[in-house]
Every structure is written in structure tokens, then in C-alpha cells.
Amino acid sequence: MNSLDYKFDFRDERNLSLVMDFYELTMSQCYFNSDHRDRIVTFDLFYRKNPDEGGYAVFAGLEEVIGYIQNLHFEDEDIAYLRSLHKFSEPFLNYLRHFIFTGDIYAIKEGTPVFPYEPLIRVKAKIIDAQLIETAMLLCINHQTLIATKARRIVKAAKGRAIMEFGARRAHNFDSANYGARAAYIGGVAGTATTYAGQKFGMPVLGTMAHSFVQSFDSEYEAFLAYAKTYPDSCTVLLDTYDTLNSGLINAIRVAKDYLEPNGYRMQGVRIDSGDMAYLSKKIRKALDEAGMQDCNIVVSNSLDEYLIKSLIDQGAQINSMGVGENLVCSKSAPVFGGVYKMSSVYENGEMIPKIKVSENVEKVTNPGFKDLYRIYDKESGKAIGDLMTLHGEVIDPKKDLTIYHQMNSWKNKTIPGGNYIVKDLLEPIFVEGQLVYDVPKLEEIRAYSEQEFQCMWDEILRFEYPQTYYVDLSKKLLDLKLKMLEDVKHG
Amino acid sequence: MNSLDYKFDFRDERNLSLVMDFYELTMSQCYFNSDHRDRIVTFDLFYRKNPDEGGYAVFAGLEEVIGYIQNLHFEDEDIAYLRSLHKFSEPFLNYLRHFIFTGDIYAIKEGTPVFPYEPLIRVKAKIIDAQLIETAMLLCINHQTLIATKARRIVKAAKGRAIMEFGARRAHNFDSANYGARAAYIGGVAGTATTYAGQKFGMPVLGTMAHSFVQSFDSEYEAFLAYAKTYPDSCTVLLDTYDTLNSGLINAIRVAKDYLEPNGYRMQGVRIDSGDMAYLSKKIRKALDEAGMQDCNIVVSNSLDEYLIKSLIDQGAQINSMGVGENLVCSKSAPVFGGVYKMSSVYENGEMIPKIKVSENVEKVTNPGFKDLYRIYDKESGKAIGDLMTLHGEVIDPKKDLTIYHQMNSWKNKTIPGGNYIVKDLLEPIFVEGQLVYDVPKLEEIRAYSEQEFQCMWDEILRFEYPQTYYVDLSKKLLDLKLKMLEDVKHG
């Protein structure tokens, strides 16, 4: 696929350029006024903690970032607004009016399992370019990575049963519903109830009826019958408007026997949205089976999350598929993904000067320098051993032994024998000198790639309770640089 | 202001019509095929539980709902997409192609303190019209009400200190950042860092510098000096890039003395973004005061929420204003506002037939019928006594005694003596027969109105810990109807 043909699909109709923290503009004017207006700098976008005390995240949101950066420009009305704030000079406003992003962006592919502290996106650009894209990039990645990760957890808990994303009404506004559905699909859900997401992203859409539908008819039987007549080959009815077992279930079976089966159709499914789902689903399964409706699916959808799903399955609940709402689309149990964007170096006369952010909190110290990122796989099992950050340009020869180092302590290291491992460069070129060079994959491809990459992860990394910490290690050269810089700060 | 002139300001550039749960379309086709295609029905949008175990919510999102409904239509590309799903007939697709909303919508004004179970929005429309707007209406109201409520709590905790909304980077995508900033402003924040929200909604924007700004200069002093030269009359510097007290504070004072004060300016503020804010702010205040910089503000911004703010103030922290990020824009501690949309009646031959949704859970039983909503104020104190739901058309004569009833138990009632109270109709006409009839207020007006309405609420309702439950009661007629319908369901 030609990326140039495709790019208009994901550029937003809106001009979202000004979705930037105001300090990006105030800082940029300072740079503009300074003698290092065109200084090249590098930034890493990374995060520090997996959501839900989990062992991983699922990287998502890159396509939206690409759309934002392609669209990034300041229209006359934007300039007029900024002028009205009486903070910006005419030369700077004129600079913005003609601004386009001219830097390099490398990123991990969407759908990749990712881990704390590794650069998910690496930017090398003029300082103003690098600064102006901070907020938009973070919010796309933070949102979609959060939801893709939650979806992956929920899909895992369902052990092969289909999960449907049903949360739009509780989303944090329109984009949260739409891009949340997209991210959930990357994380493995089977489809969404949000029609717009189906249209825009080409993912399956699903839905049947609400309680109000049943209430609007003179009887539950008439409501089910009307639905069956309109959708004889995909009829799923909602059982719990009045009384799940004593009314809904009975009317569902009646409509199957009175109308669907005589006309050569089958009742496709029944849905329950309240009550004890373990108990009810077993009762319903038994009644449906006794009525010769073994192929009728049971769908449940009441405040589900990964833990409740696991519990239902452990209890032997008879469930074929599940709709998940607010716990997925808002990631209710862990609603914030804390991606950050930190400067890693500045270039002076063509030389990379590494930068480090120190902090009282060890976990807030950054990894300095312009870096590369590799994933190391065990040759025999195909499983991922760990990820390795190096300074840019370090060469790994897979025929030789490879020693990887803990991010802070040189005595914590691990050597992988030469010939036993495979190395993959995780950072793909997305923009080079402002030009999109990336063949943006289709959503289906991202989803399939994600599934395949998760097959390379040990179960110990993926489990919910006390997962193993995946190695994200440093090369000797990078660790030495980091420790030296920390010493210099302390004594300087 | 003429609402027709204004409406284009808040209609979205996007065609968001298909942000609807797919079941709204499948149900609508059933209605279309049935003999009650044009039946008039009524729905209430309400919620059941205040966020954060609080005593209230702040209603917000109505303007966005208005924009959605004004824009609601199906373009050729939407119809083509729906056709591609092979679920919809050509007559129904043709009906959608020409669909416009033709119903009545009444709503509470944005900024109003609201309470569980009362109708925030009341819809009376043809059944298809009423159904198609469900998801979009809920997601706008659920999102903005959630954030306005959280903002109100945070602003209250700050006891007059300015709160700035700083959360865009952690928002659930672009709309969450932008409309979240708007909602936070309704809830009382002083401004936002999100430039787009400033432009679109006319709210104040604020921002200074990031750690990367300081790092990009050869020294902290040079960074502060560059900033002071560009913004001499609004210079706020960030102290904690290297060492708050031993470096940042010293350089801030140096720049004030070396550059700002000799040129007739003052250092406006210093900001700290890490460390112990109670301890640091006191040390900084003392040092600034000793340097004759009593007018230099201290701004803090590190994972603040209403509880941490309260604690800092209790500890005597010397803070003038605060930036709040993810805890506000994601409402991290309570990220879901559970607004629902339930059918309350259907009309048959011009007669209103009330509908009730029963449930095992008493708190999920709905209030039946087409209803009105009043707020009752004590005449002397001006404080709100409670809200009253009645059947539509019941008349309240404030000269007479008024007895209001608990939503489920007739023995729990309260009589307010005639002449002692004032009644306000809370539901304003927004759309009548599909036409916008509401003069949409400006954001500043909404914010001021909200502040004024909160002045009418007793402190016992507003406190964080174990707030009093505000009365949301029923008229005798409505309670009798409800209890009779519950009996009928039980025995029928």
C-alpha cells in the first residue's frame, strides 16, 4: 500500500495544531529569540509503570500521531488568536505561520508489547519542532496505549471467548469512544458497538437491543418477535427487562419456536445485562439446550472487567461472548497512562551532548543520550529475552556473546551466548526530515502483528498477579555514561 | 446574544452522527418496520451516584449536545457504510438519509449543582429520534459533568488559591483534553494550559517552561535569564530541574536582581514540580521574602488532587496557585460518570402511558412518566431545600404547604410551609419540535451562574466526608403512580 494514498484517511478533519500546552509556545518564542533557535535536540517518549500492576503495555496511537504531525500548521485564525494574547512578537508569529515539522521521528510499531523506560518514540529535530509536538503526541499515545493494554488483559481473561467493546456512552468524549474502540481492537477485542469506529477504522460493529426497545412494545413477546422478523438470521434478544428466567428466557424460546425455526432460522443469541451471571447463564444454557437450541449463544454485559471475567469462567459460567463497557473504554481501574517526553541530548557543532534529568526519586532519573532500542529473542524458543537500549550506532554482533546491564547497577547483568539469539531493531523510521517514510499498516495487520508478538512473550510476563519484570537493560557504554553523568551532577 | 449567530461556534467540524451504539440503528429499523414507527416516547437522562462519594455533581456538556443534535444527519458516505453491512433495507437507509431530529429536549442549565435520579435532560420525541441521540448525549454529559464535578471539588479544597488545568498530555485523547478544560472551567479553575481550549472556548491559557527548556541551555541561570528577557512582565521559572533550593531558587533570585528589578520588572513566580511541597514552599517563601520578593508567587504542580491540596494547606504550605493534571482531566480517583438514559413513557392516541424499569436492585428502579423537575429554596436564607419531581403539569402553589416524598417510601416525607419557599423550574426548553430555542450562554456566564448556584447549597451537602444527602423527592401523585406500577409488575 502506498502511504501517500492512505494518509488522508487518518488525518483529522479538525485543525488540532493548537492542542499544545501553552508553555510549548512560550518556550518556543524564547528559543526563537535565542542564539540556539535551530539547535538539534533529541527527546524520548517513554513511560515508567505498567497499568494495573501488570507486566506490559500494548503500544498504540502512532497512526494518530502521524496524522497530527502531518496536519501540524498554524492557520491565520490560530495566529490571530495567539496575537490576541499579547505575548508573542510579530516575527515569531510569522515564523509559526510558516512552520512545518522538519524533524526525524522513529517509533515502535503499534501493537508491540512494550515496557517501562524504553523509548516508544524517539524524536530528533530542531528544538522548536521537538517541543511543539509534545502534548499531542503524549495524549494520543497515552490514551490508546492505555486502552489497548486494558483490552489485551480483558481478552486474555476471556480465554478465547469474544469480547465486544460497548463503552462509548461512558467514554471521555467522542475521541475517547472512537479511538478507544480502535485501541481495543488492537488489544484483541472482536468488535465495537460504536458505529463511527466501524466506519472510520474498518473494524466490526455489533449491537442488538436496549431495554427501552422491549418496553416500547405492548409485550416482551411482541418486541422479540418484531426483532426476529427484521433480523431473522442474526437475532439476539435481551432477556432481563422484566424477569430474566420467568419472562425473557421463555419469550426468547417461544419466538424461536413460533417464528424463527418454522421459517428456517435459528435464534442466534440471548443477552443478559443484570443479575448473577454465573447462576443465570447456567440456568439459561440448560433451558436452551433442552429446547434444542444448543447453537444459541449467551452474551453477558454487566460491569465486566478482567477479574470478573476470570471469576465467571472459574465458576463454570456458560458464556459465549461478553460486552465490556466503562471498565475498558475508561480503563476504570487504572485510568491514567503516564507517558512522558524527556530531552535526551542536544547537538552542538554536530556533536551529541547527552542530557540527563536527575531526581531525588531513582525511578525518575532518565537514560541519557541519543539511543537505539533492540529486542533480543532466544533463537530456539522464539521467546523474547529482553530489550536493550544502546547509544545510537553501537553494533550488536549476534555471533558474539552479549552482556546486558540493569539500568542502574552494573553488577546486575546477564550474558547471552553468541549464536543463541536474534536481534530486532524496535525503532522504525516514521518521519525523516519531516517526510513520512512509513508504510502505515492497516488496523487488521496491526492487530495480527500484536497477537504474534505476544506469542513471543513468556507467560510469566503476561500473568495478572505479580508478573515477572521483563528485562529492559542497557549496553555497557550507555550505563557507564549514565553513571558518570550522575556522579558529575553530584559532585558538580 | 442571538443563538443563531452563535451556534456555528460550537458545532463540530466533524460529522459525528455515527457516534452511536449500533443497536440504536438496528432497533430503529425495527421501529421503522413496525406499526409504531412514529410513536412519541419520553426518556430521562439521569445518574445514580455522585463521583468520589461526594454530595453533588456539576452538570456540564449541554452545549456539546446541542452541537451534536444540530449537526445530526447521515451523509451519502454514512449511508454507503451502513449499506455495506447488509443489515439495513433501502427504505430504511433512505429514511436515514433524510433524517433530522424533530423532537423536544428540555435540560438543566450547565453549571447547576445536580443530584442522583433527577432528569438532567428530558427528551420527548418520535421513538427513532429519541433512540438515535442516546450515546452521543450520554458521552458528552458523562464526560463534562465528571470533569466539572472534579474541578469543583479541587477548587473548593484550594480555598481561594487559583487552580490551573494542566492535564492535556494525560487526557483520553483530544476531545478529552479540550472539553475537559472547558468543563474544568465551569467547575471553577482559573485557566488551562491547553491552547486550543483557550482559542475555542475563550478561557484563559497559562504556561511557562518545562525541564527540557532549562536543560537546553548551558546553565540554569542562562535559561532563566533568556526567559526573563522574553517575558519580563510575566516571568515564572521552574526551580527543580537540578536542585530546587540549592540551584533553582538561587538562580531565580539572581535573575530577579541582575535583570528584572534593574529594568523595572518583578519576578512573577516560581514553580516547583517535585519534592515535598509543604517543606519546599515554606523554605522558598522565606528566601523570597528575605530577598524582598514578597510579591513573587509560588506555583506547585506535582500529582495534586483535592485531598493532597487540603493536606498541603493544613500543613501551612506557602502556595499561591496550583497546576492540576491527570487527577483532574482523567478524574483519576473516579473516572466514570454513570449517566443513563431510560424510557419513562410512551404516548398512545395522545395519552401518556408511563413506563418503569424494574430491577432486583432497588437503586436501579426508574421513576415513571413524563415529569417536571423543580428546585425549592428557603425564602429567608436563599438556600436550596431540595429538588422535587412531579408528573408533567402538576402545579405548585408557593402560597400553600408543599409535601415532598422520598422516592420509594411514602412515610418519609417533609412538609414545607406555604409562603416560606420559592420554586424554580429546573428544566429549560432547549429544542422544541427540533428547533433550537435556547439562548446558549457564554462560558463565562455558565461559570458565574454555577458559582452563584453553589452559594445556595448548604455546606453539609458540599463537604467531602460523609456529605448529607440532598433531597430529591417526588410529588404524592408521582410516588403513588410509581408504587402502583411496582405492585402491578409484582402481581401481574
Residue position matching grid coordinates 420559592:
B422
Q: List, in sequence order, every residue forming a beta bridge with B352; answer none if it has no partner.
A: B347
Mean pLDDT across A339-363: 92
ipTM > 0.85 for the complex: yes
Rounded Cα distance, A55 and A289, in Å = 40
Chain B contact present for A349, CB below 8 A: no
Q: What is the pLDDT of residue B267?
A: 98
Taking a C-beta distance cutoff of 8 angstroms, is the pair B367, B44 a contact? yes
Q: What is the pLDDT of residue A290?
A: 98
Q: What is the pLDDT of residue B12?
A: 72
DSSP for residue B20: S
Q: What is the pLDDT of residue A359?
A: 77
Chain A contact present for B349, CB below 8 A: no
Torsion, Cα of A137, A139, A140, A143 (10° steps): 150
Statement to judge: residues A274 and A397 lie in one domain: no
Taking a C-beta distance cutoff of 8 angstroms, is the pair A65, B248 a contact? no
3 state DSSP class of B306? helix
The verdict on a CB contact (< 8 Å) between B274 and A43 is no
Taking a C-beta distance cutoff of 8 angstroms, is the pair A177, A167 a contact? yes
The verdict on a CB contact (< 8 Å) between A22 and B142 is no
Angle at B411 between CA B409 and CA B412, to 5 degrees: 70
The verdict on a CB contact (< 8 Å) between B337 and A210 is no
Chain A contact present for B149, CB below 8 A: no
Statement to judge: residues B300 and B359 lie in one domain: no
Query: What residue of B is the nearest CA neighbor of A194?
Result: B21
pLDDT at residue A413 is higher than 60:
yes
Domain count, chain A: 2
Statement to judge: residues A58 and A116 lie in one domain: yes
Query: What residue of B is the nearest CA neighbor of A243?
Result: B359
Of A23, A43, A215, the CB nearest to B207: A23
Counting residues of chain A whose pLDDT is more than 70, the rounded percentage is 97
Chain B contact present for A175, CB below 8 A: yes
Confidence of residue A2 (pLDDT cuts 50, 70, 90): very low
- We report the CATH number of the domain holding residue A286 as 3.20.20.70
Taking a C-beta distance cutoff of 8 angstroms, is the pair B428, B100 a contact? no
The verdict on a CB contact (< 8 Å) between B205 and A33 is no
Q: What is the pLDDT of residue B476?
A: 97
Question: Domain for residue A187, yes or no?
Answer: no
Statement to judge: residues B239 and B266 lie in one domain: yes
Exposed e or buried b per residue across A283-306, where buried means at least 16 C-beta atoms within 10 angstroms of its C-beta: ebbebbeebebeebbbbbbbebbb
Of A13, A339, A361, the CB nearest to B14: A13
The verdict on a CB contact (< 8 Å) between A13 and B18 is no
Enumerate residues 6+ apart whose C-beta is below 8 A from B473.
B386, B387, B388, B389, B404, B405, B406, B407, B413, B414
Chain B contact present for A180, CB below 8 A: yes
The verdict on a CB contact (< 8 Å) between A14 and B18 is no
Phi, psi angles (nearest 5°) of residue B17? -50, -40
**Counting one residue from A and one from B, how many pairs have CB atoms under 8 Å apart?**
312
Chain B contact present for A477, CB below 8 A: no
Which residues in chain A are contacts of B343 at CB distance < 8 A?
A: 211-212, 215-216
Rounded Cα distance, B353 and B351, in Å = 6
Rounded Cα distance, B345 and B276, in Å = 56
pLDDT at residue A6 is higher than 90:
no
The verdict on a CB contact (< 8 Å) between B180 and A173 is yes
C-alpha cell at B473: 423527592
β-bridge pairing A340-348 and A351-354:
antiparallel
Q: What is the pLDDT of residue B11?
A: 61
Chain A contact present for B379, CB below 8 A: no
Three-state secondary structure of chain A: CCHHHHHHHHCCCCCCCCCCEHHHHHHHHHHHHCCCCCCEEEEEEECCCCHHHCCCEECCCHHHHHHHHHHCCCCHHHHHHHHHCCCCCHHHHHHHHCCCCCCEEEECCCCCEECCCCCCEEEEEEHHHHHHCHHHHHHHHHHHHHHHHHHHHHHHHCCCCEEEECCHHHCCCHHHHHHHHHHHHHCCCCEECEHHHHHHHCCCECCCCCHHHHHHCCCHHHHHHHHHHHCCCCCEEECCCCCHHHHHHHHHHHHHHHHHHHHCCCCCEEEECCCCHHHHHHHHHHHHHHCCCCCCEEEECCCCCHHHHHHHHHCCCCCCEEEECHHHHCCCCCCCCCCEEEEEEEEECCEEEECCCCCCCHHHCCCCCCEEEEEEEECCCCCEEEEEEEECCCCCCCCCCEEEECCCCCCCEEEECCCCEEEEECCEEEEECCEECCCCCCHHHHHHHHHHHHCCCCHHHHCCCCCCCCEEEECHHHHHHHHHHHHHHHHC
β-bridge pairing A428-432 and A113-114:
unpaired
Of B21, B168, B195, the CB nearest to A168: B21
Statement to judge: residues A217 and A362 lie in one domain: no
Question: Domain for residue B232, yes or no?
Answer: yes
Query: What residue of A is the nearest CA neighbor of B276?
Result: A360
Nearest by Cα to B336 from B165, B149, B467, B474: B149
Question: Domain for residue A409, yes or no?
Answer: yes
Among B296, B321, B346, the domain-final residue is B321
How high is the mean pLDDT of chain A? Answer: 95
Question: Which residue ranges in chain B fall short of pLDDT 70?
Answer: 1-11, 491-492
Nearest by Cα to B124 from B434, B475, B387, B477: B434
Which residues in chain A are contacts of B30 at CB distance < 8 A?
A: 209, 213, 226-227, 230-231
Statement to judge: residues B365 and B297 lie in one domain: no
Q: List, in sequence order, every residue forming a beta bridge with B237; answer none if it has no partner.
A: B270
Interface of A with B in 199-258 (CB under 8 A): 199, 205-213, 215-216, 226-227, 229-231, 234, 241-242
Of A19, A24, A25, the CB nearest to B178: A19
Phi, psi angles (nearest 5°) of residue B367? -90, 120
Q: In what order do the strands lie in the sheet with B435-436?
A: B351-354, B340-348, B40-46, B121-126, B104-107, B428-432, B435-436
Nearest by Cα to B268 from B310, B206, B211: B206
**C-alpha to C-alpha distances, A8 to A68, A71, A141, A200, A378, nearest whole angstrom:** 11, 10, 20, 12, 40
Statement to judge: residues B50 and B79 lie in one domain: yes
Q: What is the pLDDT of residue A13?
A: 79
Residue position matching grid coordinates 551529541:
A352
C-alpha cell at B415: 412538609
The verdict on a CB contact (< 8 Å) between B194 and A19 is yes
Three-state secondary structure of A404-452: EECCCCCCCEEEECCCCEEEEECCEEEEECCEECCCCCCHHHHHHHHHH
Statement to judge: residues A59 and A119 lie in one domain: yes
The verdict on a CB contact (< 8 Å) between B26 and A241 is no
Question: Domain for residue A340, yes or no?
Answer: yes
Q: What is the pLDDT of residue B4?
A: 36
Rounded Cα distance, B126 and B131, in Å = 9
Confidence of residue A293 (pLDDT cuts 50, 70, 90): very high
Taking a C-beta distance cutoff of 8 angstroms, is the pair A93, A82 a contact? yes
The verdict on a CB contact (< 8 Å) between A198 and B22 is yes
Q: Which domain holds residue A418?
A: 3-147+335-491
Statement to judge: residues B112 and B212 lie in one domain: no
- Mutation target to probe the B interface, by most B beta carbons within 10 A, among A19, A241, A329 is A19
Statement to judge: residues A284 and A339 lie in one domain: no
Question: Domain for residue B355, yes or no?
Answer: yes
Question: Domain for residue B464, yes or no?
Answer: yes
Question: Domain for residue B482, yes or no?
Answer: no
Statement to judge: residues B344 and B452 lie in one domain: yes
Statement to judge: residues A360 and A424 lie in one domain: yes
Question: Domain for residue B398, yes or no?
Answer: no
Rounded Cα distance, A484 and A490, in Å = 10
- We report the CATH number of the domain holding residue B130 as 3.20.140.10
